[in-house]
Amino acid sequence: MATELPLHSDHFSYDGSDYSDASDETIILEEAPVEPLGSLDGEENGSRRHLIGGELQASDVEVEELSDTSLGNKPITFQGYSYAWYYTGSASTNYRCSVYRLTGCKTKLFVKDAGTEVSGEHEPDCASDVRRPISSTLAVVNQKEQMLLATDEIGLADVTLTPQEVWRTIRDKFYNDDDLIVQGASKKQVLGRLYRTRSVHFGRKFYGRIESESLCDVRNSPGLIFFQFHFTYYEEEVLHRVIGWAHPQLVDRMRQQQTSIFFDATYRCVPVQFYQLVIIMMYDNISDVYLPVFYVLTTGKTTDVYEHLLHFVFIATKRKLKPAHAACDFEYAMIKAVKNQFPETRIIGCLFHFKQAIRRKRLKLHISEEEVYLAMREGSFDRLTVIPRSDITGQGKRDVRARLKRDCLAAGISYSKEIWKRFWKYFENTWIKKFKPECRDCVKI
């Protein structure tokens, strides 16, 4: 018997590549009037309910699903709960809750010629995935093929729907008729069919899918193209990709003259084929808000990668992007690319990233955390970003060092004189010579 996929969960961790449409079928049984019985030996503690087949409907209606030969070892759904087959005896076909391994549920279902018995109570996590039928009129239908065809239609008509959204649409369409006992496709089969159908139609390649027409549009806005560019090139022997998305109405805002743009990159939320996601944000003078506009996936962080990225952003704005300021991390490749693309733009380093780099270097030199904390306080080291450049290595440096010594003395902390000498040497080489002070001068921002 195939392992059951819990119907109560909205999480799906399979890729659908090995699903079969052939075996797992779901049968929904209807609830009937309840006649209580006493507890039976050998069963778990808890209530036991007995549903007599003769009471389910009038005598002229035939109940097909209550015979052992019609049920077999297929999973069934009764009162909205899914049950998995585990034994067929001479008198009954026995089932247990299909998610008992996850929830520890001990509820069992016994289907006999005379009726249906439920032993035990479901756990709270055994939430029903299909609404319980309440009608007294039984009609048995097999809608598995219709469900799979509907999965194809829905999955291709709107590729922005997630697999879980497709399943809920199919479930609500076919499993919510109170007058039917439905023998249909399981959640596992529907999701597997969806993955295979989309793979055949769009191809298994990730890049082919993102360039398909329906995925290029803004969701629920046909005609508004969200996908902006996809560029590949070789840098020596390494193949690089630059893929960008942006809402066209926000791209129009970037055509404003003398605006300010901001660059930031993140590494923890990108597909495995890529290195980082670069986000380009702008300050909109019209609405007086900061707008994230471009989202660009890159496979590297070299100067060439950034230059290609900025070139295609420039093209997307109809060559009208001319920012007055560009704020970015203190990354040499990024700064160089911005200068090459926008030579008249003033580059401003991000104060947060500046202080972050300074803090990491101090800890790397084994300066105590107490000293680092005192140096990172407001009005201490950061004052070097708001004084004239000519004063940084002279009076500014002496003032910061004198204040740090006083703070250490007041806190009873030993001042690491030799290590701080090494730090100031690093500071002059990196933040005076390599990255010019005007890049982090906050006075003129």
Taking the C-alpha atoms of residue 220 and residue 125, their distance in angstroms, rounded to an integer, is 34
Angstrom CA distances, 374 to 386, 401, 403, stand at: 19, 11, 9
- Give tens-digit pLDDT for 195-214: 898 888 777 777 767 777 77
Provide the token pair at 103: 């929830």
pLDDT at 27: 46
pLDDT at 127: 61
Domains of the chain with bracketed CATH: 25-198 (no CATH), 226-349 (3.30.420), 352-440 (no CATH)
Nearest residue to 284 (alpha-carbon basis) of 276, 293, 275: 293
pLDDT at 194: 92
**Helices 417-428, 351-364: inter-axial angle, 10-degree rounding:** 140
Helices of type H across 143-262:
144-157, 163-174, 187-202, 206-210, 213-216, 248-253
Taking the C-alpha atoms of residue 339 and residue 249, their distance in angstroms, rounded to an integer, is 27
The residue written with tokens 């991000």 in the block is 350
pLDDT at 12: 33
Bridge partners, 221 (sequence order)? 218
pLDDT at 291: 94
Q: Are 259 and 324 in contact (CB under 8 A)?
A: yes
Torsion angle in degrees (nearest 10) through CA of 414, 419, 425, 431:
-70
Nearest residue to 324 (alpha-carbon basis) of 146, 159, 164, 444: 444
Helix (H, G, I), strand (E, B) or coil at 35: strand
What single string gives the DSSP state of each residue in 394-420? Answer: IIIHHHHHHHHHHHHHHHT----HHHH
CB-CB neighbours of 71 under 10 Å:
20
- Give tens-digit pLDDT for 378-425: 888 888 888 887 888 888 889 999 999 999 999 998 998 899 999 999
Q: Are 180 and 141 in contact (CB under 8 A)?
A: yes
pLDDT at 244: 94
pLDDT at 81: 76
- Intervals of the chain under pLDDT 50: 1-69, 130-138, 442-445
